[in-house]
Structure 1
Amino acid sequence: MLKNYLKIALRTLAQSKVYSVINITGLSIGLAAAMLIMLYTKDEVSYDGFHANNPNIYRITFKSVTPGGVLENTSAITGYLPGPKFSAGTPEIEAFTRYRQHRNDVKLGDQVLSQDVYQADRDFFRIFSFPLLSGNPLTALVQPRSVVISEEMAEKHFGTVNALGKTMLFKDSFDEHAAFEPFVVTGVAAKCPQNSSIQFDFLQPLPVPESQMQGEAWFNSSLNTFVKLTPGANSQAVSATMNRIYQSDARDAAKAVAEKYGLVNKRYYGLQPFTAIHLDSQLNAENGLMNGSKPLFSYVLSGIALFILLIACINFVNLTVARSLKRAKEIGVRKVVGGGRYQLAAQFLGESFVLCFAAFVLAVLLVESVLPTFNQLANKALAISYLFDWQLIAGYIALFVLTALLAGFYPAVVLSGYDPVKTLYSRFNFSGRNYLQKTLVVVQFALASFLIIVTLTMRSQFNFLTNMELGYDDQNLVSIEKQNLTRAEARLLTDELLKSQSITAVTPKNGGQWGTMARVNAGTDMEFSYETVGYNYLSVLQIPLLQGRTFSETLASDSTKAVLVNEAFVKKAGWKNPVGQEVDFWYNPGEKYTVVGVVKDYHFQSLTSNIRPQLFTMKPGNPFGKVFIRIQPGMESASLAHIGKTFRKLFPLVPYSYQFVDEANLKSYESEAKWKQIMLFGAILTIFISSIGLFGLATLAAERRMKEIGIRKVLGASIAGIVALLSTDFVRLVALSFVLSFPAAYYAMQKWLENYPYKVEISVWIFLSASGLSLLIALCTVSFQSVRTALMNPVKSLRRE
């Protein structure tokens, strides 16, 4: 019996090659999308799950609460004290390790490279499961000047993974007085798994300054602290013990800090499971931890995959039912000779399984071919080998069976219920029976138009972010970095760079983003971004000055007594006449400044953040870390050559790199660019598969009205009139889909845009464009079948009765 069903299924599919190809293609695309998202989701939820000590690994966190009981922030960046203090006083804590990211210069012969170097306590390998190819994990981080390197770095620097005992030269990038020191390789680690929040090529013992072990260090934050609890330990009870230790140990320090700086926020410590870090939107992966994500990404991608797979199943139903008219007599004959309804249903389900199996095989090939592109879009490193994980295989089998049942159940029930007398006399029709198909087409195009609107909105927001005026000119602007750049070095570098006609201006600035607080209005503490700049910073970046004056190179007092502030600073301080106001850094005795000018707000961070209050100073004690260089348009090659030559001549032991500021700004929107592409691909696939479904329904309508069309042609109906007759119903269906998609898309995009302080308005043209595109695709799809039917010889259609 099964062999007979299989043979008939294969023959039927072979006889209807176009139908089979369309159905297999649609299903394979839907299955491939589902497989890719299953890979993505499995990778997301499996992050950091490979450590043998899970679920007993936690990260120490804390909440900062004002004396009035208002929660200010929650953070996982702690100081040096919590690890050893909590470990010593909490029996359930078996081990702890502090972990942070640092920057070192690495010297290889005459070449100097700047590398991310990570630092941790000796129990790092006792807590985490990072196997060493060579070296003892218990002692690898014991000696001060030791380093564990990855197998990739061992191959790169020594030409072999057998690097144990070899020496590397490191220098602290942030210490201008530091010299290169030898570090002995005490371990070579296997490559970190791609689904690990910890990724390191160089791991050194964490140096612990004596000052960071004093009481006031409780209120410093610079690193991650991880603990391993005893099996079965209650994390809430451990947190309670930690807080008792903190309150007892930090009591005197809190009083001293309060006397020195004012009121001190209360802290409440807690524990975060290590496996929860990757998908935690609030306490995310930072300060040495990599690849933090959000559950929203998995939800959105899963929704797109579900849309595509659902539309593919809908297509299967539509095409199968549409094609069933050609098999009506076969069904009638089978029933007359004794074929039962259950046997016919089994046959059609068998055909569904055969077709789904072919689609499943094609889907695996599609996944393998598009995986590199998907990895690029999703910022992953997934491999086809992940498909053979037993959990995924079980998921794919379940997906295959579910898809085959969903796609084949309705056609099997409908086709097996045909009246044999009507089918044998060719009097069978679908009158009153195509409501489900029409409903499915409405759902298809509702999903398609929804994705079109989402894609257009994301594209519009991305263009807005990348084309919005920033308040300064980032074109033809190059930045280079040199940590702890002194005033004398900055002057020398500027003089040397300006010797080239390809360079028009140079100005230094502090490296990174600094923040601090000061007192305004003789009593109000205020936080702001703190910028140390050269006297010509505003003119080089072309930032407008609204009030007062800018810094002067000839006024020595500007370095010690004058500051500039931006509009956001003035607004937050509540000043009506900002020039002449005083800013008091009360924690540094005698450090008071006078505001001499107000700078127009400019976007010194990406447009995903509001403009913060900003203060500019030329304080001599603050080092520079970055230099902006304005170059002549069209002279990029000459400029970069001169910059590189000059930098290497002045700082031969400092790594050199440059970047164009406009390119760096654009790079800050990589996430938005990738989501725009993902949604575009999802919309294209959805539209393509929806068009196939509409083609199936058009075929059904043409088959059902074949005799009517023949009579109309005999009576003189034109081809255009017949095409319009056949197309009108489908245009109405597509138009009806907009009633469902427009409100849902508007709500979804409003929620998404709430994440951006600077955003576009959802305009009417986006909905008009989506509706116009959907209607155009529908008309093109339906017109093809309608024209083909209208051109048929009416004699053939009338002889069918």
Structure 2
Amino acid sequence: MFRNYFKTAFRNLKRNKIYSVINILGLSLGLACAMLIILYVNDEVSYDRFHEKKDHLYRIVTQNYNADTIPEHKDPNTGFLQGPVFHAGVPEIKSYVRIQSSNTDIKKGTDITSKSLLRVDPEFFSLFTFPLLSGNPETCLEQPHSMVLTEEEAKNQFGTSDAVGKTMLLRENDSFIPYTVTAIAKNCPQNSSIKFNILLPLITPEGTMQNGENWFSFFLNTLVLIEPEADISLINDKIQNIYLAESSEAAKIINERYGDSGPPPSYFLQPFTNIHLSKELPAQNGLSDSSNPVYSYILSGIALFILLIACINFINLTVARSIKRAKEIGIRKVVGGNRKQLIFQFLGESFLLCLIAFVLALLMVQLVLPLFNDLANKVLAISYLLSFKLITGYILLFLITALLSGFYPALVLSQYNPVETLYNRFILGGKNYLQKALVVLQFALASFLIIATFIIYSQFKFLTTKDLGYDDSNVVAVGAHGLSQKELALFREKVTTSPDITEVAGKNGGYWSTSAKVNGEKQIQFAYETVDESYIPLLKIKVVKGRNFSREFPSDSTHSVLVNESFVKEAGWKDPIGQVVDFWYNENEKYTVTGVVKDHHYQSLSQKIGPQLFTMKPANKFGLILVKIKSGSTTAALGHIKNTFQNMFPLHPYNYAFRDEINLRRYQMESKWKQIMLLSAVLTIFISCIGLFGLSVLSTEKRTKEIGIRKILGASVNNVVITLSRDFIKLVLIALALSVPVAWMVAGKWLQNYPYRINPGWQIFAVAAVLVIFIALATVSFQAVKAAIANPARSLRTE
């Protein structure tokens, strides 16, 4: 019996090639998308679960409060003290490891490169499961100048993974000190929040543990291993009590020096396996790959959309095509076939078709995985499909898809009356409301994704083309950590000997933030910029009041500051020139405002412009050199900059980036989502259209006699095309009417994440609607025109 079912199924697939290709292609695309998203989500939830002690690993974090003891934000960082002190005072804490990220210059021959690495406590390998290829995990990080390399880094440095006992030169202050390789670790798994190529011992500076003010220094991660049966809430209470007792004297000193800092933070433990997907307490400062569960939800929703559309196609095409199989069903019933057998037959066909689509989907996944990895910032491999959980998931996906797409058609086809079908009195059920509703649903989903794509594209274009308030073109940013004003002046003198270099300026590296008092008592938090007198002119930032720093006023470096318009507004100044900014926590450090610059986007457009202050304080070092080069002379200018820098600073690594490229990289996430949404929209509209094409083919076949009669009675080709297309276009219009309001609401909510954003006008929705209608019309019209120009005599004769 089952053999007969499969023979019949193969014959039907072979006989109806267009129908088979449409269904298999649509289902395989839907299944491939679902497989890729399952891979993505599985990778997200698997982070850090390979550690043997994962269930007992926690991170020490804090909850901060405002003056009204209302929770403000959570902080995942700690300092040197929390780990050792809590470990000593809480018996349930078995061990701890502090992790600090840093960059260190490495000298190899005459080459000097800057490498990112982690500094950790010696117990690192006893808490975390990072297998060693060689070396002792218990002692490899005990000595101050020991180091652990991964297999990959060892091969990069020495050409072999057999590197234990070899040395590397690492910078300490102004000299390079040999560090001995004591162990080689396997490369870190890609689903790990702790990623390293080089590990160094974390050295606690002398006197740190005795200085209570270090309770208020936060710059690293502290992870602890607790007893298996320990009560977490009880441990939270204990560490909070220890903190309050140990930091009370230091808190009084801090409050006297800087003013009341508000209620003390509340310490608690965060499960280590929760870090990767945490929005409030993300992975940072030594932990990496912070993610957002929203991404998984969105991608899962998109995959569900695409798979649902593919299943809708299957149902629609199978039901619509049932008129051609009516006689087959009638004969089977006359010769003794019952409804149960027919249901099994059609379900068998569904399973066979899904099996073919499933195999094709696996091939598609293999082909597009590199592109998907690039979009999702992953390194997923097809080998991940071999895990037991994923295999189980894919089998369930296959079964659910086959049942979902085949069960309803099987019920409909198996209930046909044999007498009506054999005597051609059968008419496919009524108005086909379900079929029409499914067409509306799939085009509503496709329209929603197209509109979303247009809006994301528009916002991305806005973010990357908006005037930032300064000129970032042809500006090269050269890393120069710890550069003094005299060194910058000498570098400027030498590098500007080239006619390709027009200006040079200095700036602090990274983002600095601090606070000061204005108007006597009011305290303002602001971005703190250390620059020289050339910085404002080089970037063409407008000075709206007062003047810029100038060499003609030597006291500018010790007595003057510039502020932006947002600072003036926050301070409440009507006339900012001559106002005093008081850094009260530093003795006799007061500055006079000599100029106000126009607000400009010194951070990404995802953050609102805040107060900003510029200083030329001599004690502050520069971290960046900005070099303005002439347009069209990039190669020569970069070569001259490099040679000058390396001749002047032979012990510093040379690295550079163009300022406009740095700004663009701030929107990498938006760029990725733009591409993901575009691919999703293309897939959904493609699958919807091949389904619509299949329905139009079957509709045209059913109306062959009608078309012939219309043409004989004088109907033109245009009239026939309009008649055949009208019903489908009505469904598409209904889909647009449903999707546009939903897309408008969702887009408005998404755009609220950006303080600077587009206002999606009616044009975006109109263009999307026209595009959807045009694609649908082109899809349906192709078959309609073919039917309209056919010879009516032939169509009537076949009837």
TM-score, structure 2 normalization = 0.98
Aligned to 1:366: 364
Aligned to 2:18: 18
Aligned to 1:746: 744
Aligned to 2:148: 148
Aligned to 1:666: 664
Counterparts of 2:552 and 2:786, CA distance in 1: 85
CA drift at 1:14: 1.4
Aligned to 1:527: 525
C-alpha contact (below 8 Å) 1:67/1:263 kept by paired residues: no
Aligned to 2:335: 337
Q: 2:244 aligns with which of 240, 244, 247?
A: 247
Greater shift, 150-159 or 458-467, is seen at: 150-159
Structure 2 counterpart SS, 1:47: coil
C-alpha contact (below 8 Å) 2:470/2:539 kept by paired residues: yes
TM alignment of 1:99-498, pairs within 5 A: 99-172=99-172, 177-213=173-209, 214-265=211-262, 266-430=264-428, 432-498=430-496
Structure 1 counterpart SS, 2:54: coil
Post-superposition Cα deviations, 1:110-137, rounded to whole Å, max 9, x if no partner, equal 1111000210111111111111111111
Post-superposition Cα deviations, 1:534-582, rounded to whole Å, max 9, x if no partner, equal 1121101110001011111122211110000001111111111111110
- Answer yes or no: is 1:559 the counterpart of 2:547: no
Greater shift, 262-271 or 591-600, is seen at: 262-271
Counterparts of 1:693 and 1:22, CA distance in 2: 7
Aligned to 1:69: 69
Counterparts of 1:255 and 1:23, CA distance in 2: 73
Q: 2:689 aligns with which of 688, 691, 695?
A: 691
C-alpha contact (below 8 Å) 1:699/1:785 kept by paired residues: yes
TM alignment of 1:541-690, pairs within 5 A: 541-690=539-688
Post-superposition Cα deviations, 1:174-204, rounded to whole Å, max 9, x if no partner, equal xxx4311011111111000000011100110
Gaps of 5+ in 2: none
C-alpha contact (below 8 Å) 1:150/1:202 kept by paired residues: yes
The code of the aligned residue for 1:26 comes to G
Counterparts of 2:8 and 2:189, CA distance in 1: 49
- Answer yes or no: is 1:57 the counterpart of 2:54: no
The code of the aligned residue for 2:703 comes to R
Runs of 4+ in 1 over 4 A off after TM superposition: none
Counterparts of 1:472 and 1:774, CA distance in 2: 40
The code of the aligned residue for 2:153 comes to M
The code of the aligned residue for 2:187 comes to K
CA drift at 1:430: 2.0
Counterparts of 1:797 and 1:91, CA distance in 2: 89
Aligned to 1:6: 6
C-alpha contact (below 8 Å) 1:154/1:160 kept by paired residues: yes
Counterparts of 2:72 and 2:435, CA distance in 1: 55
Aligned to 1:707: 705
Greater shift, 386-395 or 690-699, is seen at: 690-699
The code of the aligned residue for 1:588 comes to N
Post-superposition Cα deviations, 1:516-543, rounded to whole Å, max 9, x if no partner, equal 1111110112111111101121101110
CA drift at 1:796: 4.1
Structure 2 counterpart SS, 1:543: coil
Counterparts of 1:120 and 1:566, CA distance in 2: 41
Aligned to 1:94: 94
Counterparts of 1:235 and 1:5, CA distance in 2: 60
Post-superposition Cα deviations, 1:127-163, rounded to whole Å, max 9, x if no partner, equal 1111111111111111111111110111111111111
Counterparts of 1:256 and 1:71, CA distance in 2: 24
The code of the aligned residue for 2:289 comes to N
CA drift at 1:784: 1.4
Greater shift, 673-682 or 431-440, is seen at: 431-440
Counterparts of 1:159 and 1:736, CA distance in 2: 65
Aligned to 2:719: 721
The code of the aligned residue for 1:259 comes to E
Structure 1 counterpart SS, 2:602: coil
Counterparts of 1:126 and 1:728, CA distance in 2: 71
Structure 2 counterpart SS, 1:279: coil
Counterparts of 2:412 and 2:712, CA distance in 1: 34
CA drift at 1:433: 4.7
C-alpha contact (below 8 Å) 2:149/2:183 kept by paired residues: yes
Post-superposition Cα deviations, 1:50-77, rounded to whole Å, max 9, x if no partner, equal 1111111111111222343243431011
- Answer yes or no: is 1:35 the counterpart of 2:45: no
Counterparts of 2:644 and 2:145, CA distance in 1: 33
Gaps of 5+ in 1: none
The code of the aligned residue for 2:145 comes to R
Structure 2 counterpart SS, 1:653: coil
Counterparts of 2:639 and 2:528, CA distance in 1: 32
Greater shift, 320-329 or 758-767, is seen at: 320-329
C-alpha contact (below 8 Å) 1:147/1:183 kept by paired residues: yes
CA drift at 1:342: 1.3
The code of the aligned residue for 1:448 comes to A
CA drift at 1:344: 1.2
Post-superposition Cα deviations, 1:308-344, rounded to whole Å, max 9, x if no partner, equal 0000001111111222222222111111111111111
C-alpha contact (below 8 Å) 2:170/2:177 kept by paired residues: yes
C-alpha contact (below 8 Å) 2:22/2:694 kept by paired residues: no
Alignment RMSD? 1.2
Aligned to 2:760: 762
Greater shift, 107-116 or 314-323, is seen at: 314-323
Structure 1 counterpart SS, 2:27: helix
The code of the aligned residue for 2:532 comes to G
CA drift at 1:211: 4.5
TM-score, structure 1 normalization = 0.98
Counterparts of 1:233 and 1:743, CA distance in 2: 52
Counterparts of 1:153 and 1:386, CA distance in 2: 25
Q: In structure 2, do the counterparts of structure 1 residues 67 and 779 end up closer, same or farther at CA, with 3 Å as the change threshold?
A: closer
Structure 1 counterpart SS, 2:468: coil
C-alpha contact (below 8 Å) 2:22/2:691 kept by paired residues: no
C-alpha contact (below 8 Å) 2:76/2:281 kept by paired residues: yes
Post-superposition Cα deviations, 1:403-427, rounded to whole Å, max 9, x if no partner, equal 0111111111111111222222223
C-alpha contact (below 8 Å) 1:563/1:595 kept by paired residues: yes
Post-superposition Cα deviations, 1:342-397, rounded to whole Å, max 9, x if no partner, equal 11111111111000000000000000000000000000000010011110000000
Counterparts of 2:207 and 2:593, CA distance in 1: 34
CA drift at 1:242: 0.2
Counterparts of 1:446 and 1:570, CA distance in 2: 49
Post-superposition Cα deviations, 1:431-480, rounded to whole Å, max 9, x if no partner, equal 51521111100001100100000000000000000000001000011110
CA drift at 1:260: 1.4
CA drift at 1:264: 2.5
C-alpha contact (below 8 Å) 1:430/1:704 kept by paired residues: no
Identical columns (%): 55
CA drift at 1:739: 1.8
Q: In structure 2, do the counterparts of structure 1 residues 795 and 417 end up closer, same or farther at CA, with 3 Å as the change threshold?
A: farther
Counterparts of 1:223 and 1:263, CA distance in 2: 25
Question: How many corresponding residue pairs?
Answer: 797
